Amino acid sequence: MKEIEVALIGNPNVGKSLIFNNLTGGRAHVGNWPGKTVEKKEGRCIHKGVTMRIIDLPGVYSLTAASIDELIARSYIVEERPDVVVDIVDASNLERNLYLTLQLLELEANLVIALNKSDIAEGLGYEIDVKGLSELLGVPVVPTIATVKVGMEELKDAIVEASKRGVKAKVRYREDIEELIERIGDILKRDENLTKKYPARWLAIKIIEGDGEVMRLIEERGLIEELREVIG
Amino acid sequence: MRMPLGLAPENRVVRVVEVRGGRGLIRRLSELGFLKGEWVRVLKSGPSGPALVEVKGSRIALGRGVLMRIIVECVPP
């Protein structure tokens, strides 16, 4: 039987653990991320003949690698390349939550968005255009209410479907930035081992941002001199 | 009236006018929601140590050093 790897991510307090428990039936194997004292939860779920290995990532506001949880979440998505990443978004607090979504799109993760706490959003009078949001972001969006298990079957369907389809969404920036991303990307692609492991476009964006972790990596690979000519 | 967030009274909604820090701190705080113009509220604070602040629907604990670098405007009630 086919097995796919699914990572759950989201801001703190969006109901991530609840969705994890709903999907896995609460039969989680709890351990630690190697070398870090951050809990790692793993469980399984079988849906329509597909076995999903579900990994609960730490709750984070961003993927800048500023704290140990962020670094774990980011390394996991970049290096392990799970088949599907479920971004759990608090529908009652979209503005804050979509920042992480954007970073996941930059990472070229195969995203499915669970629009959780849909009932609370509705109670606040929010009317979310789910279809419009999905079209704008280029990824499937499934409204859920984890506390009463609403939307769980639809979420599983979307995960299985996404695993078959692969990544298609991409974030586009202003033309001059896109040009810079391309020029940096060309230099990075000379190091095949590097771009096999990390998406070149993502690395290029992080280099423009001056991301500490990525800059260290670039230095290790001896690419920094060539890049200086482009980024100054 | 302007003051550092570390001196703002509890339970008063105040507005961020400036983050006095380097690129790294400004970026980190903006990711947590502390952007210029954002309304925030100190939930629990004291004369020293960290304080609990509500921003964009989340509760975030900040250390004293960082609290003193976020400048807020207190609108009279």
Write the ipTM.
Answer: 0.83
Residue A71 covered by a domain = yes
Q: Which of A144, A165, A186 is the last residue of a domain?
A: A165
Return the CATH number at A116.
Answer: 3.40.50.300
- Domain annotation for chain B: domains and CATH numbers: 2-74 (2.30.30.90)
Is a pLDDT exceeding 80 seen at residue B15?
Answer: yes
pTM score, two decimals? Answer: 0.89
How many angstroms separate the Cα of A142 from the Cα of each of A118, A133, A222, B57? 10, 10, 43, 22
Is a pLDDT exceeding 80 seen at residue B10?
Answer: yes
Q: Which of A165, A193, A221 is the last residue of a domain?
A: A165
In chain A, the number of structural domains is 2
Same domain for A148 and A196, yes or no, is: no
Number of neighbouring beta carbons within 10 Å of residue A32: 10
Q: What is the mean pLDDT of residues A165-190?
A: 90
Size of interface A-B (CB pairs under 8 A): 25
Residue A38 covered by a domain = yes
Same domain for A145 and A220, yes or no, is: no
Show residues of chain B in contact with A210, CB under 8 Å: 23
Same domain for A222 and A120, yes or no, is: no
Average pLDDT over chain A, rounded to an integer: 91
For tokens 């992480």, what's the residue? A100
* B31–A99 CB contact, under 8 Å: yes
Would you call A32 an interface residue with chain B, using a CB distance cutoff of 8 Å? no
Residue of A60, A61, A103, A126 to mutate, interface with B, max B Cβ within 10 Å? A61
Strand order in the sheet with A29-32: A29-32, A39-47, A50-56, A3-10, A84-90, A111-116, A141-143
Is a pLDDT exceeding 70 seen at residue A37?
Answer: no
Quote the pLDDT of residue A39.
75
Is a pLDDT exceeding 90 seen at residue A167?
Answer: no
Domain range for A222: 175-231
Q: Which residue among B31, B57, B58 sits closest to A64, beta carbon to beta carbon?
A: B31
Residue A170 covered by a domain = no
Average pLDDT over chain B, rounded to an integer: 93
